[in-house]
Amino acid sequence: MSRLVPSNQTYTPITTTWSLPQIDSWTVGFDRHWKLLEDLHSSTTKNTYPPYNILKMSDESYGVELALAGFNKDEIEIVHHNGILKISGKKDVEVLGSFVHKGIATRDFEHQFALADYVEVKSATFEDGILRIYLKQELPEEKRPKTVKIQ
């Protein structure tokens, strides 16, 4: 089974203590970015299904894991467009009887994640009810640091 985080490493969440109004006071021209983040924040704080992880595997590699028990890969769609990663699932529920207890949610869902510049989806796997999406930030050559020789 492939894992995003090796078993000998621990996951440390990245937390921040600032808010967008504070950032806005020392930035210029980022209005569109702040609006995008605020929109994504308001849409995702209301939606906690399905549970997911966001992992940083290296300085330029990231992963997103979603727990999708009861789904199969044909019921899941992953779209990357204009810096947004959208993952959605639509379940055709076929019940062979009535539930005595229903603890496994299989409702439709949609999650959106804002991706930084030059972050691309490299691959996705779906195994044992876990969807794993691998992302990598690949800066173009002209954006990478250059050493200038002194003549």
Comparing 35 with 100, which gets the higher pLDDT?
A: 100
Number of helices (H), then strands (E), belonging to the chain: the values are 2, 7
Q: What is the pLDDT of residues 11-20, one digit of tens each?
A: 555 555 555 5
Could you please report the per-residue DSSP string of 5-48? S-TTS----------HHHHHTT-SS-HHHHHHHHHHHHHHHT--
The Cα angle at residue 127 between residues 126 and 128, in degrees rounded to 5 = 135
Proportion of the chain above pLDDT 90, given as a percent:
44
Catalogue all structural domains in the chain, each as residue range(s) with its CATH number: 49-140 (2.60.40.790)
Instruction: Supply the pLDDT for residue 96.
Output: 74
Q: Is the pLDDT of residue 1 over 50?
A: no
Strand partners, 62: 56, 135
Query: What is the DSSP-derived secondary structure letter of residue 143?
Result: G
For the entire predicted model, the pTM comes to: 0.68
Comparing 122 with 43, which gets the higher pLDDT?
A: 122
Comparing 127 with 91, which gets the higher pLDDT?
A: 127
Take residue 119 and report the two structure tokens written for it. Answer: 């972050």
Question: What is the average pLDDT score of the chain?
Answer: 82
Question: For residue 50, is the peptide bond before it cis, meaning its omega torsion is within 30 degrees of 0?
Answer: yes
